[in-house]
């Protein structure tokens, strides 16, 4: 008696739902390894035809973030009152009108606190 093999189930991949962000940008850097084992640039095009980041995320750039003395003092005072760093961050975000209006990131905030 010959038994038929059980059918194998093929998993189908789900299509990811992502925004279409392709712009046909020609910017590139092409490098090759030379005889010394070091990389050298052989061709580059630095001209982009699009902004490098989306407008709502510009506040995350290092050049846009600022941790000034009054903010540091406020964070320190909240910490001395017993507020956890995440709570003081949320409070400052609410007061500023959102994370993007605060002027510094959560990581900057946590780095400023001394536990």
pLDDT digits (tens, 9 = 90+) for 68-80: 888 889 999 999 9
Q: Confirm whether 37 is domain-assigned.
A: yes
Q: Confirm whether 93 is domain-assigned.
A: yes
Q: Confirm whether 10 is domain-assigned.
A: no
Element (H, E) at 85: helix 85-96
pLDDT of 11 > 70? The answer is yes
Q: pLDDT band for position 114 (50/70/90)?
A: low
For residue 44, what pLDDT is reported?
95
Stretch 2-15: mean pLDDT: 70
Q: Confirm whether 96 is domain-assigned.
A: yes
Separation of alpha carbons 6 and 77, rounded Å: 68
Place of tokens 């536990």: 115
* Chain centre to alpha carbon of residue 88: 22
Query: Do the beta carbons of residue 92 and residue 108 sit within 8 Å?
Result: no
Q: Confirm whether 5 is domain-assigned.
A: no
Q: Confirm whether 40 is domain-assigned.
A: yes
For residue 4, what pLDDT is reported?
56
Q: Domain range for residue 79?
A: 28-50+66-112
For residue 50, what pLDDT is reported?
85
Q: Confirm whether 59 is domain-assigned.
A: no
Separation of alpha carbons 115 and 112, rounded Å: 10
Strands 39-45 and 28-33: antiparallel
For residue 107, what pLDDT is reported?
87
Total of domains in the chain: 1
Q: pLDDT band for position 92 (50/70/90)?
A: very high
pLDDT of 6 > 70? The answer is no
For residue 77, what pLDDT is reported?
92
Separation of alpha carbons 97 and 69, rounded Å: 20
Q: Confirm whether 16 is domain-assigned.
A: no
């Amino acid at each position: 008696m010959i038994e038929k093999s059980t059918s194998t189930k093929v998993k189908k991949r789900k299509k990811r739902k992502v925004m279409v962000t392709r712009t046909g940008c020609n910017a590139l850097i092409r490098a090759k390894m030379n005889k010394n084992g070091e990389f050298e640039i052989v061709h580059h095009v630095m001209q982009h035809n699009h902004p490098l980041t989306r407008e709502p995320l510009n506040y995350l750039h290092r050049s846009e973030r600022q941790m000034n003395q009054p903010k540091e003092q406020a964070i320190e005072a909240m910490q001395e009152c017993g507020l956890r760093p995440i709570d003081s961050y949320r409070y400052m975000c609410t007061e500023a009108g959102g994370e993007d209006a605060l002027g510094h990131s959560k990581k900057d905030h946590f780095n400023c606190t001394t536990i």
